[in-house]
Amino acid sequence: MKYLIKKIKTQDRGGEFFIPNKYLGKDNFFLSPADEDPSPSGNNPHSIDLTFKWHNLKAELEINPLKKYRSDVHTNSDTRLAKTPRISPDGDPIAVIEKKGSLEYSARIYKKGDKDYDVIVEILGKHSYVLTDKIRYTMDNKLNQILFGPPGTGKTYTTITKALDIIGLEHSSYEEAQELFQNELGKRIEFVTMHQSFSYEDFVQGLKPNKSDNGIVFDFKNGVFKEICRRAEDYRTGDSSSEKRELSNSDICSLAFYLSKYNGKKKGEKKANEQLGYLSDNEAFIGIGEIINVNPNSIKNHRDKFDFMFQDREDYTSRKGWTPRNDDGVLDSTDKWPYREVYDKLKDKSFEENTAIIETLLSSDFNPTEDSNENENFVIILDEINRANISRVFGELISLIEKDKRDGKLSATLPSGERFTVPSNLYIIGTMNTADKSIALVDIALRRRFEFIPLYPDTSILREVLTKKGMIEADINTRVDLLNILNRIIRAKKSVDFEIGHSYFMEDDDLVNIINKQILPLLNEYFMYDLRKVKDIIEKTQKDKEGRHIPKTGLVFNDDIWKERGLLEVTNITSSAAKSEQGEIDLTAVES
């Protein structure tokens, strides 16, 4: 996640922020207005409209034009973010702008005395501007939020990282985030895929059959929402009755280090297991997981991350698997290895010293160390929330999730007669595929109580990922251009809610295979399996809703299969006729 931190010294009468040109362009923070609007009319500057959410300000403007002034329009050909809220210079204000998408941003103003102000000042240093990804916090994390957008725009990716940010778990990569997320499922995170048959009884509480000595009896059973509310409340108040202890991530990694260093691959090389009283690695994972609140698979995954450090040892046969690699796939220095601190702390200690540390961690008398997570937040993710009948699922609890109704300020009586309230430390994240149902059709009660966050295709993310994978520039341009053209066609024929997400084009597979296996089936579904229509919109020149011509996709279909069976199959991709001098497709070009 990238953030632009800016000292606010002056604004002109139009409320404009000056933006250095080094932060413009494909690889930087803002798009370049000169690239997006190459030929402004009259005396107007190059301009592009950005959607902004200005937090903690009385005036929250949604649209801010980013203007690149021309020398024939302005004495300085600078760039400005226009129509921003007027900021008082009192308190040495600093703007922290978070990039949400190619055109979507979120901003918060910090002043002296505000929480995190000193941290931001330290990152900013003596500079007026700093572009950084070193800070980890969410911009005004809402208790209730819904991520919405077309398929393939990163909704699941975002829910995982957002959930970890909310509960305060650091992660250096998406792979590490997935591992941490899996470890927290059933504890501080719950993930529920909503569907048409999902009910109040599944979500909150209902009568369920149970076997007993007298046959089948019915009793009230808590649903997933009621259960995580109970855990969140217990965690917040310190009333948890769980026998398992909570350890910091550092302590869990210390256990993993011990199991890696002192357990070899062969049966006779299990010094750690022998010391702890376990017969096998798997038994050790399960046994430790019964003592502390951690998934056994997570202990194994952490252990595997240490193994490469002991591969050259002569006294045992080590496992060979994971090794740290950089973005180019080359064996990397371990300087940025996330386990470095734990490794350096324990590597020079003797087996007896490390054993004492581990036995202390597993002792029933052990008190968690100071770096144990003090964050008390819990998260429930409601995937595909718009597929369920919200009134049926939430029932009377829809009012209880509001911020000012939580922690007993408003309560309801459940079917069992129990009084129930939603704790303030439970965050609700929903996801919504706009291709399934329009936002306009979503229950009005849901719309009032959730903040809706858009996630639409972002070619800058696509370009960044493909570049890190080492793909050549020509192939990257082909994928980016094809995605742009297809989405222009979809917006013209359907709507923005049916666009194709950038994640489809991130895969390592051949582009023709991606089109045939994923994109064409999606287009067929969008156009009600009218394959003739899909073929026409791809092969023939189309116009957008403003009447401008859209360049052809360059997709070539197999005529034999079409004539014989009426099916669509792309055989190859040719370059579009609409090319700019830079070699990229000019999306504003008019074909003859």
3-state SS, residue 358: helix
Q: Which of 85-99, 131-145, 202-216, 522-536 has the highest mean predicted lDDT (pLDDT)?
A: 522-536
- What's the CA gap between 480 and 458, in Å, rounded? 9
Rounded mean pLDDT of the chain? Answer: 81
Residues, the chain, total? Answer: 592
Residue 59's pLDDT band, with cuts at 50, 70 and 90, is low
pLDDT of residue 56: 66
- What's the CA gap between 22 and 32, in Å, rounded? 10
98 forms beta bridges with 3, 106
Residue 191's pLDDT band, with cuts at 50, 70 and 90, is very high
Q: Residue 138 above 70 pLDDT? A: no
pLDDT of residue 582: 34
Spacing of C-alpha 39 from chain mean position: 36
Q: Tell me the mean pLDDT in the region 477-503.
A: 92
- What's the CA gap between 68 and 24, in Å, rounded? 10
- What's the CA gap between 387 and 442, in Å, rounded? 9
- What's the CA gap between 400 and 394, in Å, rounded? 10
- Residue 192 gets the label, from left (phi > 0), alpha (psi -120 to 50) or beta, of beta
Do 166 and 278 meet the contact criterion of CB atoms below 8 Å apart? no
Q: Tell me the mean pLDDT in the region 97-125.
A: 80
Spacing of C-alpha 539 from chain mean position: 35
- What's the CA gap between 6 and 498, in Å, rounded? 36
Residue 535's pLDDT band, with cuts at 50, 70 and 90, is very high
pLDDT of residue 574: 85
What is the tens place of the pLDDT at every residue in 215-273?
A: 777 778 888 999 999 888 887 776 555 556 667 778 888 898 999 889 888 888 898 88
Q: Tokens representing 572?
A: 């190859």
More confident residue, 296 or 573: 573
pLDDT of residue 486: 94
DSSP 71-84: TTTSSS--EEE-SP
What is the model's pTM?
0.61
DSSP 140-162: T--SEEEEEESTTSSHHHHHHHH
Q: Tokens representing 397?
A: 């609890």
Q: Residue 561 above 90 pLDDT? A: yes
Q: Tell me the mean pLDDT in the region 547-560.
A: 90
What are the structural domains of the chain?
A: 3-132 (2.40.330.10), 144-242+375-454 (3.40.50.300), 249-362 (no CATH), 459-573 (no CATH)
Q: Tell me the mean pLDDT in the region 495-505.
A: 91
- Dihedral angle, C-alpha 148, 154, 159, 164, nearest 10 °: -150
pLDDT of residue 461: 87
Instruction: Work out the number of other CB atoms within 10 angstroms of the CB of residue 61.
Output: 14
Q: Quick one: what percent of the chain has pLDDT higher than 70?
A: 84
Q: Tokens representing 191?
A: 């993930």
Do 5 and 96 meet the contact criterion of CB atoms below 8 Å apart? yes
Q: Tokens representing 50?
A: 């950005």
Q: Residue 101 above 80 pLDDT? A: no
- What's the CA gap between 492 and 495, in Å, rounded? 7
Q: Tokens representing 89?
A: 């210079």
Q: Which of 30-39, 135-144, 519-528 has the highest mean predicted lDDT (pLDDT)?
A: 519-528
DSSP 365-420: TPPPPTTS-----EEEEEETGGGS-HHHHHGGGGTTTSGGGTTTTS-EE-TTS-EE
pLDDT of residue 417: 86
3-state SS, residue 555: strand
pLDDT of residue 586: 39
Q: Residue 592 above 50 pLDDT? A: no
- What's the CA gap between 426 and 378, in Å, rounded? 5
Identity at 365, one-letter amino acid code: D
Residue 370's pLDDT band, with cuts at 50, 70 and 90, is very low
Q: Tell me the mean pLDDT in the region 347-359.
A: 89
Q: Tell me the mean pLDDT in the region 293-308.
A: 80
- What's the CA gap between 85 and 432, in Å, rounded? 31
Instruction: Work out the number of other CB atoms within 10 angstroms of the CB of residue 167.
Output: 20
Q: Tokens representing 127?
A: 């500079």
Do 190 and 380 meet the contact criterion of CB atoms below 8 Å apart? yes
Instruction: Return the beta strands (E) in 459-589 as ranges.
Output: 542-543, 549-550, 555-557, 570-573
What is the tens place of the pLDDT at every residue in 36-52?
A: 888 888 888 888 888 88
pLDDT of residue 243: 55
More confident residue, 274 or 116: 274
Q: Residue 584 above 60 pLDDT? A: no
Q: Tokens representing 28?
A: 């930087």
pLDDT of residue 521: 94
